[in-house]
Amino acid sequence: MLNGTPIGFFSKEQSTVETATYGSEFVATRTCVKQIMDLQQTLRYLGVPIKGQSYMFGDNECAVNSSSRTEAKLHKGHVALSFHRVREAVACNMLSFIHIDGVLNPADILSKHWGHQQIWPLLRTLMFWSGDTADQEE
């Protein structure tokens, strides 16, 4: 989302096989961090000032907490690159990683099977944004 407008969606099978959700979440989160960094750099090239930090939401509370707590320890060595890349981005205030309940996660719109009644509240906010997205504070 950029100024309340959905600008991209990314979904693919992961290139590594993870035996636990924790490792899968960190692999996916590292991919998201890379995309945020690429988008910020592209916007800077276009002359758009980047004010503040980006927000990244995850529905796995354990992964969200591990990325922001300094006392968190990694118990799986093969997840280390993803783990440390995400923690580095959070530590330098480039982004904030926030827990969101899976039922409220708009990223799940295209990745799960939904009925109309279940998905409409999430979909409506994306399709029918109220307000001026170009109204920027100076």
Question: Contact 23/78 with Cβ under 8 angstroms?
Answer: yes
Would you say residue 113 lies in a domain?
A: no
Q: Which domain holds residue 87?
A: 21-105
Question: Contact 93/87 with Cβ under 8 angstroms?
Answer: no
Nearest to 95 by CA among 130, 53, 132, 60: 53
Would you say residue 137 lies in a domain?
A: no
Nearest to 73 by CA among 60, 88, 83: 83
Burial class (CB in 10 A: 0-12, 13-18, 19+), 130: exposed
Predicted confidence at residue 14, as pLDDT, reads 65
Would you say residue 36 lies in a domain?
A: yes
Would you say residue 124 lies in a domain?
A: no
Structure-model confidence comparison of residues 89 and 75, the more confident one:
89
Structure-model confidence comparison of residues 33 and 137, the more confident one:
33
Would you say residue 82 lies in a domain?
A: yes
Would you say residue 42 lies in a domain?
A: yes
128 SS3 class: coil
- Count the domains in the chain: 1
pLDDT digits 0-9 by tens, 70-85 = 777 776 666 778 888 8
Would you say residue 13 lies in a domain?
A: no
Would you say residue 134 lies in a domain?
A: no
pLDDT digits 0-9 by tens, 4-63 = 777 777 777 766 666 677 778 888 888 889 999 999 999 999 998 888 888 888 888 888
5 SS3 class: strand
